[in-house]
Amino acid sequence: MVYLNSTDGLSYQKLRDLNKDVIGWIDVYGTKIDYPIVQGQDNAKYLNTTVLGEYSTAGSIFLDYRNSKDFSDFNNIIYGHYMAERKMFGDMEKFLEKDFFDQHKFAAINRNDLPSFGITFFAFIKTEGTDQEIFSPAVSGKENKKALIQYLYDKATFSRKMTISDQDRIVLLDTCDLTVTNGRYILAGVLTEKVEPNPFKEERPSQQLQSFTFNLPKFGLLQFLIIIWILLVIFYLIQKIIGEKKKDAKNDEK
């Protein structure tokens, strides 16, 4: 299976070959959150660096550097900027609507050559960037794990009842809440072995390709047609000039 990067048209396999920090791909069903996941040696690098290593204020979607790249920790934190036009984690704002939260329950994480994970979301939370209860990947011990689960439920703007134990693993999607100073939106879910089907798949163009070809949707059909038209006009003019020169040459011979 090959995935198309919505920003640069490169296949998932190609991204992995270009950047060893690519550890997976996240798809939150029914949103535009559909991006590769990277993990750096700190949490600063990918704040303003793309998966291709280029500078960008949009940065990348990245797993906390303190987490294990195989998502084996109890608390796995994935960060992404809140961007305009629903880019990166911009669509997390949609979960402020209860109907949207209720109708968008699942996501998936493809982990390179390892089995994929499903995600079942159980809470949407508004908090601050200084909330160490949430932003601490190192959670050990049965009581501490249970305490974090309860804390997430207590802080939740919206939640759904789920049986979550200390044997489960959770994933927190984190982005900025621009309405308050240092505000954060958190979408909390449980990692599952089962990957649920995407009920919203038909609402957006398929991002599965057999091979990478010219990215016409990105380039723009109108621009493409304009270039073809210009080339045809140039070809016509060249042929006309050549024809006139041949005609003049014949007249000179006479």
Q: How confident is the model over 138-152, as pLDDT tens digits?
A: 898 999 999 999 999
- Please give the pLDDT value at position 88: 92
Categorise residue 238: left if φ over 0, alpha if ψ from -120 to 50, beta otherwise.
alpha
Average pLDDT over the chain, rounded to an integer = 85
- The model's pLDDT over 66-92, given as tens digits with 9 standing for 90+, comes to 999 999 999 999 999 988 888 899 999
Q: What is the Cβ-side half-sphere exposure of residue 77, based on CA atoms within 13 angstroms? A: 20
Arithmetic mean of pLDDT, 154-173? 95
Dist CA 246 CA 233 (whole Å): 20
Q: What is the pTM of this model?
A: 0.76
Q: How much is the average pLDDT of 207-227?
A: 51
Domain boundaries, the chain: 12-203, 220-253
The CATH fold of domain 12-203: Sortase; Chain: A; (2.40.260)
